[in-house]
Amino acid sequence: MEFLSKKLTDYILKKNVIEKENYEIYQYGFESALETMFCFASAIAIAAFMHAIPQALFFSFFFLLMRSYTGGLHLKTFRACYIFSCLLLVACLFLAKNVSAYPIVSTMIYAASVLVILITGPVDHPNKPVEESDSKRFMLRSYIILGISIVTAIALFISGNRSYLFLEAVTFAFIAITGILGKAFNRYTGVTD
């Protein structure tokens, strides 16, 4: 991705679209956009291969929103993050498609995961610490998303949709686990939240 982003940035620099002092900003923007598109295309390909596009969209909705505001484990390289994310998606979809948990079990997993998320709180990334005001805003947004997820869980429970209720439980379990791992990694490396 870095190679392609440099090529794109070199191209627009040669065309005098940007100033030389903005080179790094554009290069970073291109790299981020390319990585995001690659991850999205990979997720769609995995979901299509597993015949689970609706489930992947459901997982992604809650997982990406919650991780955006609560943080969690961040790996050092794009490659490591990409592989971990793909494995997480495959695991979640596999479990959702192949495990039929009783609704009460799914609800207990979901409730325990939400409790862990609330206790863990937001997890800062060492390279991008969050200001106190941003942290409060992020927590408010995560509470709104949690509220939506609670309403969704109740609707799934009442409707008897065991598959999506378990998928939501597994999704929030993964969010909780990555939050715990993020906190542990920060402590291990000496970064405090």
Q: What pLDDT does 128 receive?
A: 54
- Residues with Cβ within 8 Å of residue 177, at least 6 apart in sequence: none
**Is the distance from CB of 62 to CB of 171 less than 8 angstroms?**
yes
Q: What pLDDT does 129 receive?
A: 57
Q: What pLDDT does 71 receive?
A: 74
- Residues with Cβ within 8 Å of residue 11, at least 6 apart in sequence: none
Q: What CA–CA distance (Å, rounded) separates 98 from 108? A: 19
Q: What pLDDT does 3 receive?
A: 86
Q: What pLDDT does 5 receive?
A: 86
Q: What pLDDT does 133 receive?
A: 65
Q: What pLDDT does 163 receive?
A: 93
Q: Enumerate the β-bridge partners of residue 123.
A: 71
Q: What pLDDT does 75 receive?
A: 76
Q: What pLDDT does 67 receive?
A: 84
Summarize pLDDT for 112-133 with one digit per residue, the tens. 999 999 888 776 655 555 566 6
Domain boundaries, the chain: 1-49, 52-188
Q: What pLDDT does 125 receive?
A: 58
Q: What pLDDT does 124 receive?
A: 63
Residues of the chain falling short of pLDDT 50: 193
